[in-house]
Chain A
Amino acid sequence: MNHSSDSRSEKGSILVRAITRASSQNINLMEVCGTHTVSIFRHGLRTIIPENIKMISGPGCPVCVTDQGDIDAALELAEEDMVTMATYGDMLRVPGTSTSLADLKARGRDIRIITSASQCIEIAEKDPQKEIVFFSVGFETTAPATASMLLEAQKKGLENLSVISLHKRTPPVLETLASDPGIKIDGFILPGHVSVILGHDPYRSIPERYGIPSCITGFEPEDILSGIFSIVRQIEEGKPRLTSVYGRVVKKEGNIKAKELMAEVFEYCDARWRGIGEIKSSGLAIKEKYRKLDAQYKWNLKTKEVEPPAGCRCGDVLSGRITPPECPLFRTICTPSSPVGPCMVSSEGSCSAYYRFRGGAESWNR
């Protein structure tokens, strides 16, 4: 199902041979982007990477790391009669404590799936008697779009639109993982599209302060394999640094215009990451200047601290301490049709990826 299959499988063989010959130690590499997790499974990369390299999936799925209390607060708001809640498809089936947006939609609540934040403006203008609330999650790839939409809403003086900003920042969680003595990470595969916005600088502390080699990587299988090779070489040379195999898209300085838009609308705040806990300055809150569009204030949203469901180990999965099959609920009580935590429901969640792709075809002999 590809544009140039022959060259892809040739490239794959070359890359795998190179990685195998270049690496001698047992190492753990963490990909910090749910889209990488899915791509690694979809292309069956675990079945061709040499066995001494272990791929761990980190907390790069913004849906999975959204705190359950925050989800519950948003769902409660979605139950109000005059509220139309707009969401990306990714959030629809994520379970809160007692319901989900899919459940509410089935019960007749006005839940709209959107594919672009700008559609919120269209919905608000078309239905002035309804209160549109945008349930907005995502990392730095997605936050600029929300910022742009908020600026437009402010300019138009829209009074029936607000945003629940649960956007999070990548560098703080990387630092949290890099500095955790309980997790052995020998290299990071860094999120290619977050990097389009951020550029290189926010990651420099990872190799420089923590000595962990890191490579900014795209999402095609050749990109990921090249990134793994780059990291393996750094480990063998003992020279951790920041590299990039995604220069066709990622500029060193990032997207300055997008960063300026974000800085205009958002400020850093402390944020709770599901299973990890609070990470300082890791969230993006709407600035006071745009408070009328901030759903937290408009609707007086109060987030309760919620205990994760008994036995749920989403936090350990997200921080790479365990793999999904090591969670006792995996495939027993927690399945995609009856998920306990977001890791199983989100299209990018580690547990969902492991389940859907059956853990990487271990039963095949190669």
Chain B
Amino acid sequence: MFSLLQISGRCRKLEQITLGHGSGGRLTEQLIKNITELFPSGRKDPSVSDLEDCTFLSNDIAVTIDSFTVSPRIFPGGNIGKLAVCGSTNDLAVRGVRPEWLVMSVVIEEGMDMEEFNGYMESAAAVCRDLGVKLSAGDTKVVPRNSLDGLFITTCALGTADTPFYWGMNNIKPGDRIAVTRSIGAHGATIGAARYDLGSKTLSSDCAALWPAIKEITKDRSVRAMRDCTRGGLGTVLCEWAEGTDLGIEIEEKEIPISSEVISVCDVLGFDPLYLACEGCAAIVFDPEGEDRILSALARHKDCSEIKIIGEVVDEHKKMVGMKTDIGGMRVIDMPVAEMLPRIC
């Protein structure tokens, strides 16, 4: 039997870093802001928005970095090694940057099976070979058992611009169309299903490299901006565009491609598919003049065959994203705050 201590009446703000800070929503936004404000900016043009997927260091060379801590490490559709290279190179690809170099750090928990580790490295190397990306530098560390969960991989990808001008949200104008390159939420649903014991023979992550498809449209002047819909999903990308451009966005629920497996996982766990991570799906904004060219060029690639226009940029309700729902109502999409948790209510 234990008796409880008196509880003081004060109200305390949360002072720890929580998983919510890593989930891609508003808490993550705050954390990033706190960090970047301390450092001199390394970006070529500091006036350009912070919220693009990679940064230009000089006129032509762009860089991005990402860490991969996914659990489970192996999932239908991929593993942490494949994800580590696809993730970083996609962040270059969506700004029309050809991925050319990779710098990689691996931190390995003592006791990991050597064959398992080699398998991840082989998967990562296979993506590099397919893309023509060279591993230029790297680092390995081994830490004592229980210091981390198996394996963390950090990849820094660099490449050269292949576009006539920088792709980014500063180009976005009212009247532009918005498309997604494939059905959303597959990666997040696959990981959620694995974590919470939902079985499926057909559910699979969308983990894939996007450069082979995107390189077909890098010279098309109709492209305004593109984003990789990773942490925080499509919903977060749209909110960041609306807030960053001071324009409005309107999309239609019935146009958003989503598989029945992802819908089922969301129904069971109470997730909102708009915020589920994708790892092979990009959102693209373009001048309607280029619609047919862009859609047909991307649709030729197997990872973009489901490409669909979902909405447009508007001059009204600035900074807000509205979705016309299936039943004909209007719902405002906001950024998620923290990580999605399974609900019963």
Please indicate the chain B residues that have their CB under 8 angstroms from the CB of A138 in the complex: 344-345
Please indicate the chain B residues that have their CB under 8 angstroms from the CB of A48 in the complex: 327-329
Please indicate the chain A residues that have their CB under 8 angstroms from the CB of B326 in the complex: 1-2, 5, 8-9, 12, 43, 221
**For residue B198, which residue of chain A has the nearest CB?**
A115
Interface pair A43/B325, CB less than 8 Å apart: yes
**For residue A42, which residue of chain B has the nearest CB?**
B331
Interface pair B345/A9, CB less than 8 Å apart: no
Whether A88 sits at the interface, judged by CB under 8 Å, is yes
**For residue A16, which residue of chain B has the nearest CB?**
B328
Question: Given A5-B254, A89-B341, A138-B345, A98 and B327 touching (CB < 8 A)?
Answer: no
Question: Given A1-B263, A9-B326, A357-B331, A34 and B269 touching (CB < 8 A)?
Answer: no
Identify which of A1, A73, A346, A360 contacts B254 (C-beta below 8 A): A1
A:137-188 near B, CB below 8 Å: 138, 142
Interface pair A72/B342, CB less than 8 Å apart: no
A88 to B196, CA, bound (A): 12
A275 to chain B, nearest CB (A): 16
A98 to B31, CA, bound (A): 22
A-contact bits for B312-345, CB 8 A (1 contact / 0 none):
0000110010111111111110100110011111
Interface pair B328/A72, CB less than 8 Å apart: no
Please indicate the chain A residues that have their CB under 8 angstroms from the CB of B323 in the complex: 44
Interface pair A98/B254, CB less than 8 Å apart: no
A307 to B20, CA, bound (A): 28
Please indicate the chain A residues that have their CB under 8 angstroms from the CB of B316 in the complex: 363
Please indicate the chain A residues that have their CB under 8 angstroms from the CB of B7 in the complex: 72, 76, 97-98, 304, 306
Please indicate the chain A residues that have their CB under 8 angstroms from the CB of B337 in the complex: 336-337
Whether B3 sits at the interface, judged by CB under 8 Å, is yes
Stretch among A99-107, A243-251, A262-270, A282-290 lining the B interface: A99-107
A31 to chain B, nearest CB (A): 14
Size category of the binding interface on chain B: 35 or more
A:54-74 near B, CB below 8 Å: 61-63, 72-73
Identify which of A76, A100, A348, A357 contacts B332 (C-beta below 8 A): A357
Question: Given A8-B327, A9-B326, A43-B325, A62 and B342 touching (CB < 8 A)?
Answer: no
B-contact bits for A299-336, CB 8 A (1 contact / 0 none):
11110101101000000000000000000000000001
Please indicate the chain B residues that have their CB under 8 angstroms from the CB of A347 in the complex: 270, 341, 343, 345
Identify which of A43, A107, A304 contacts B331 (C-beta below 8 A): A43
Whether B14 sits at the interface, judged by CB under 8 Å, is yes
Interface pair A221/B12, CB less than 8 Å apart: no
Interface pair B325/A221, CB less than 8 Å apart: yes
Interface pair A309/B11, CB less than 8 Å apart: yes
Interface pair A43/B327, CB less than 8 Å apart: yes
**For residue B253, which residue of chain A has the nearest CB?**
A1
A:79-138 near B, CB below 8 Å: 80, 88-90, 92-93, 95, 97-100, 102-103, 105-107, 113, 115, 138
Identify which of B5, B10, B269, B273 contacts A97 (C-beta below 8 A): B10
Question: Given A9-B254, A97-B7, A302-B3, A90 and B330 touching (CB < 8 A)?
Answer: no
B125 to chain A, nearest CB (A): 36
Please indicate the chain B residues that have their CB under 8 angstroms from the CB of A77 in the complex: 2, 4
Please indicate the chain A residues that have their CB under 8 angstroms from the CB of B273 in the complex: 1
Interface pair B344/A115, CB less than 8 Å apart: yes
**For residue B15, which residue of chain A has the nearest CB?**
A103
Please indicate the chain B residues that have their CB under 8 angstroms from the CB of A225 in the complex: 327
Please indicate the chain B residues that have their CB under 8 angstroms from the CB of A205 in the complex: none
Q: Which of B7, B16, B26, B320 has the most chain A CB within a 10 Å cutoff?
A: B7
Identify which of B27, B320, B322, B341 contacts A113 (C-beta below 8 A): B341
Identify which of B12, B19, B329 contacts A43 (C-beta below 8 A): B329
Please indicate the chain A residues that have their CB under 8 angstroms from the CB of B2 in the complex: 77, 80, 299-300
**For residue A346, which residue of chain B has the nearest CB?**
B345
**For residue B248, which residue of chain A has the nearest CB?**
A363
* CB pairs A–B below 8 angstroms (13 shown): A5-B253, A8-B327, A12-B328, A43-B331, A76-B5, A102-B20, A300-B3, A336-B337, A337-B26, A347-B341, A356-B334, A358-B334, A363-B317
Residues of B at under 8 Å CB distance from A? 1-14, 16-20, 26-27, 30, 196-197, 253-254, 256, 258, 260, 263, 269-270, 272-273, 316-317, 320, 322-332, 334, 337-338, 341-345
16 additional A-B pairs beyond A44-B325, A93-B20, A338-B14, beta carbons within 8 Å, are: A1-B263, A2-B254, A8-B327, A11-B327, A42-B272, A44-B328, A44-B329, A76-B5, A90-B341, A97-B9, A336-B338, A347-B270, A347-B341, A360-B330, A361-B329, A363-B320
